[in-house]
Structure 1
Amino acid sequence: MPDPAARSPKAEQTRQTIVDAAMRLFSRDGYGRTTMRAIATEAGVSLGNAYYYFGSKEHLIQAFYDQLQVEHEAAAERVLGRDSRFDQRLRGVLDAWLYVAEPHHEFAGEFFRNAADPHSPLSPFSPESAPARDASIGVFRTLVTGSNVKASADLRAELPELLWLLQMGVVLFWVYDDSPRQERSRRLVAGLVPIVDRLVKLARLPVARGLVDDVLGLVRDLRS
């Protein structure tokens, strides 16, 4: 696959055309039934050209993840520039994800059924997903850094990844949310944010420090 930095505008346009064609077919025919040949035909390119940009369907989904993350980051930036309150920033970032993901809800379940396999490169925890995952954690790092949250240095360091894990829970709920425009997912975010805000504030109390240290220790242990 060509180096992103070396792509010409025409190559970038061709690549995007292939991604858009894949998304249409995944939505219409399902991920499992869509072939690279069908994607190439839909995009109006040769099969060899499709494979030149994307070695497999999994690479196309990774491109979709990356694209969705760029859109989320842009939407989140508009929120993060308005308020320093931790709860408002968290609500804004989670709502921003629901906003950019909404057009893709119809076929999201197809992707996440494959992503649920721990050995799949589509898993949000896989090495292949590291760029999108790191970028998403970076959004939460910006959220924490620019907020008025008062927390210990250890908790501040781990909070961005913990918030990303919270978002993964929201994503899973959203995938199975069949309410109009996924309204239940929006209510979930509205209810979760005050709880998280209170928990972070409670973590400052001396009586909670031991428990917080245990949780952070567990997180670090599982990461190693």
Structure 2
Amino acid sequence: MSKAERTRARIRDAALASFVDRGYVDTTMRLIAAEAEVSVGNAYYYFPSKEHLVQELYIRVQHEHAALARPLLAAEKQLVDRLRVVFETGLRTVGPYRRVAPGFLGAMMPPDSPINPLSEASADARALTVALFREAVDGSEHRLPPSIAGILPDALFGVFLALLLRWTYDSGEGQRQTARLLDTGLRLFAVAQPFLRVPGIRGVATDLLTQIAEVRA
């Protein structure tokens, strides 16, 4: 690793550690530079803004999510069970950030926020999550109609964001309300699966999933 790469990694790691400890609002570029032992100008050279470092956080979390989910996916064949793996490991991966999640949520909610998960700036991190959902769908022994299977992973990303919103405000022990919501949604999907091959229902379901998948900031 070159000196420049080491410096960039040090700045990134300092930022990600601060996001966990202090949250989004209280993490500043000046603080990141101090903890990485570089000048503020040097920190800005590698990362033009704090928002660029949030994107680094998104990417790291998605890689951790995939690493946690894939061994568990290998043991499951049923679609609902595979989707449960992706949702539950996703929540487990963001667990260390739960205390500071409301601060991130406040910053990412405006449609024009560069850290909005639905923004163009977040496209790379979003693609990693969609790809994991696609693995879950494509690797199932249950074959969905092509019109459903093609759009479902993108729609599931939107569902996962909604679940994260509920998780952020679930102050109960073990976030049991979030777990119950996920379980109810998956059981409903399991009941609906056989009907997705019925032409009239398939068309409506495809339209609904497409509208969810196309939501962007």
**TM-score relative to the length of structure 2:** 0.88
Closer, same or farther in 2 for the Cα pair 1:96/1:37, shift >3 Å? same
Alignment-derived partner of residue 139 in structure 1: 132
SS in 2 for 1:31: helix
Question: What one-letter code is carried by the residue in structure 2 that aligns with 1:138?
Answer: A
Alignment-derived partner of residue 103 in structure 1: 96
Separation in 2 of the partners of 1:164 and 1:178? 23
Alignment-derived partner of residue 54 in structure 1: 47
Q: Percent identity?
A: 38
Separation in 2 of the partners of 1:20 and 1:109? 22
Unaligned stretches of 5+ residues in structure 2: none
Select the structure with the greater relative contact order (CA < 8 A; seq sep ≥ 6).
Answer: 2
Matched, 1:194 2:197: no
Question: What one-letter code is carried by the residue in structure 2 that aligns with 1:179?
Answer: G
Alignment-derived partner of residue 15 in structure 2: 22
Q: 1:185 aligns with which of 175, 178, 184?
A: 178
Closer, same or farther in 2 for the Cα pair 1:64/1:84, shift >3 Å? same
Unaligned stretches of 5+ residues in structure 1: 1-7
Alignment-derived partner of residue 27 in structure 2: 34
Contact 1:123 1:129 in 2 (8 A): yes
Closer, same or farther in 2 for the Cα pair 1:15/1:183, shift >3 Å? farther
Deviations 1:188-221 (A, max 9, x none): 2222211122223321234523423443564587
Closer, same or farther in 2 for the Cα pair 1:22/1:202, shift >3 Å? same
Q: Over the residues paired in the alignment, what is the CA RMSD in angstroms?
A: 2.3
Alignment-derived partner of residue 72 in structure 1: 65
Contact 1:31 1:111 in 2 (8 A): yes
Deviations 1:34-78 (A, max 9, x none): 321111112222212211221100001010001000001111111
Contact 1:124 1:133 in 2 (8 A): yes
**TM-score relative to the length of structure 1:** 0.86
Alignment-derived partner of residue 76 in structure 2: 83
State the number of aligned residues: 216
Closer, same or farther in 2 for the Cα pair 1:184/1:213, shift >3 Å? closer
Separation in 2 of the partners of 1:220 and 1:187? 24
Matched, 1:124 2:117: yes
Moved beyond 6 Å, runs of 4+ = 220-223
